[in-house]
Chains A and B, each alone.
Chain A
């Protein structure tokens, strides 16, 4: 079976623009939440695209383009693809798509009538717009489509891209997730269902957690057939070793309290990777800071990892960045790759009073060194769960030989 390599990573997150900024901020315990939200305040679309491209992209697609630019550069593809265009595809997941565009055009419809709705409304609001923008920018003519599964979309996109490469449907995939829902309707809608924190603090696994904090951003990875990547001499940042996806088929928004679907996804991902729970060195949790997710995720980890669950450090990026929704799985996959490379479990920022019921090692307060072996790769799983009951789990590991990556050499790729 073909091995799938991660050869490039790029992201825009509330911690800043770039993958190096993400891992540096998170590992030092930075928190990007301001006034109950985590916006990408440092992002300026004009740094990454022309006036025309920016006008033709909702903010979520703009974030995807910026993240893709870093990932493509990182993979050494700035001058072009290493394969035939029809052998390279794109999958950018999102929870919602261009909701700011929908809201703006709906306001125009109500106040000025049907003929005031923009001809760009549909191409900006459609959920596959992030994929379309990235595929056009880089001439990706292979399999490309949107991936929509709420807060699991980024991980589903990466896992589906992995399958495309394994099956031979593509040699190279640019995959990730993007979301920009800091809008009046989305805020009101998430608040109406009691999903978001009323106190505006993201503190996964803390006994006081009361909901997630809305964030925005994008994460994009370049995935390649590892043999072909090595043949062209590009460094392999990590190996995407496995993927498991299941559905709870239980409730529209609440996770199964017994964590059965999530546990099954973890087991499937480990089986796909041929990894035993005893080999797992780190868990990048979905850890949303909602009462229900953090409880059921803990139960699921215990089911799937058994006796090893108590030993393995489990941390959530969301204390630092809030919840990036459809982008979360992709930004967290990138954070996991970089944490593995650094040999650390970054901390669950905001976790001060551990919930006594959630008795795993949630890496409160400060980053921790990961267990490492000179003879074996360091292995992590990254969990993503979405409304609708969709679960997606990725297994990532350090590559056989080391290669420089964002954050390895501080500031070298920060821009």
Chain B
């Protein structure tokens, strides 16, 4: 995470990928303990990843990462249960007892981010599309959209913030 905040994209992608099975287990555990279908777990995982990303300035870099990540997903699970109409009590300690081997990503339909991105301002939408659909990196995106790399970074950053808001509204 420290390297990621310093701008190391590879380290950041690795960290998020390694966290994902852990998040998935907690999301599924939270849903099943509340008597819910675990089909929505992937939505919670994705929403948590976005929250981790947008709120990483709240992590104190001298402290261990795991408790902070747990607090974020706990908030997201409770939030999701509440939005789906539940009292939303989640005992995280009980869930983490059955944390098992990393599970594969399920082939289930999740909220379509590109559909959500349609409501973003056109500049941010174009940047997210170029990176996500066309798989461009920052430099290629800048070139194809005739923007500076700095402007691409800003548009991406704002676009991700906007997506988080849209995500919340869609569930």
Q: Do A and B come from one complex?
A: no
Partner-A contacts on B (CB < 8 A): none
Partner-B contacts on A (CB < 8 A): none
